[in-house]
Amino acid sequence: MHVAEHGSVMNVTVQRGSADTPTRTETFDVPAYDNQTVLDVVSWIQQNADPTLTYRFACRVGMCGSCAMMVNGVPRWTCRTHVSKVLDGNKINIAPLRNLPVIKDLAADMDPFFDKWVAAEGKHHPTRTREEEIAPVDPQAEERQAASAGIECINCSICYSACDTVTGNPDYLGPAALQRAWTLYNDAKDADRDAILDAVSGKGGCHNCHSMGSCTAYCPNELDPLSAIAGLKRATTRRFFGRRG
């Protein structure tokens, strides 16, 4: 156990290890103070107790999502999670995001997450070249509203980590990738709806979703991937029966 020098302390258990070393936990006594975030706790450990602790962060203000970790078993942005909201007695457990490989300690490997984002046809298919005039889009149009509903996703992978379907089915594209597909499907400036529906209706696609809703429940930006996935299910089903007819 690593012990803080003085004052009120909390007992923080951190998962350690990497792809090449066994997983273990270490416990640190960390000074407690007002308005302290979980990211503050992790930073204190790295700066004062063990400089080898590996983790990821950038903005510290809830804009980038890179500091996401498991806190007491729940995926959270650590920069926006106050210790007072998650302290269990005087204990906190911190681990890397689940459903992703671990690079080292609290830093998860995001490659599988973004590979699925690409596999879900998450790229924009432009209808015009950069030399052409920009096409106007009515912001009140129903499709634009559907596209805008998910546009604030910052790919933090909280929803992916919260999803039990991803845990049980590694082929499942996951809520973030499918929400991105739904956003593009409703974008009037995207030229290839069929490519999107092809991507999300195959193995690991939207119909693998069990509609448990963890993605929506835990999204820090209060987005609704579950509804986006339901929209893809409807769209792929309509196309299927339309082709048969």
What residue segments make up the domains of the chain, in order of their start?
A: 9-108, 111-244
Q: Three-state SS across 133-201?
A: CCCCCCCCCHHHHHHHCCCCCCCCCHHHHHCHHHHHCCCCCCHHHHHHHHHHHCCCCECCHHHHHHHHH
Segment 6-54, tens digit of pLDDT: 569 999 999 999 989 999 999 999 999 999 999 999 999 999 999 999 9
What pLDDT, on the 0 to 100 scale, is given for residue 139?
Answer: 87
In CATH terms, the fold of domain 9-108 is Ubiquitin-like (UB roll) (3.10.20)
- pLDDT beyond 60 at 72: yes
Architecture of domain 111-244: Orthogonal Bundle (1.10)
- For the chain, the maximum distance between any two Cα atoms, rounded to a whole number of angstroms, is 75
Segment 115-138, tens digit of pLDDT: 999 999 999 988 888 888 888 888
- pLDDT beyond 70 at 62: yes
- The answer to whether the beta carbons of residues 233 and 185 sit under 8 Å apart is no
What's the N-to-C CA distance of the chain in angstroms? Answer: 68
Segment 164-180, tens digit of pLDDT: 999 999 999 999 999 99
Query: Among residues 209, 210, 185, which one has the least CA distance to residue 197?
Result: 185
Whole-number Å distance between alpha carbons of 205 and 226: 13
What pLDDT, on the 0 to 100 scale, is given for residue 244?
Answer: 54
Q: What is the mean pLDDT of residues 222-244?
A: 92
When the pLDDT of each residue in the chain is averaged and rounded to a whole number, the result is 94
Whole-number Å distance between alpha carbons of 84 and 93: 14
Task: Give Cα separations from 16 to 13, 22, 94, 103, 106 (angstroms).
Answer: 10, 8, 10, 10, 7
Which pTM was predicted? 0.92
Query: Among residues 152, 156, 191, 197, which one has the least CA distance to residue 178?
Result: 197
9-108 and 111-244 have identical folds? no
Q: What is the mean pLDDT of residues 203-218?
A: 97
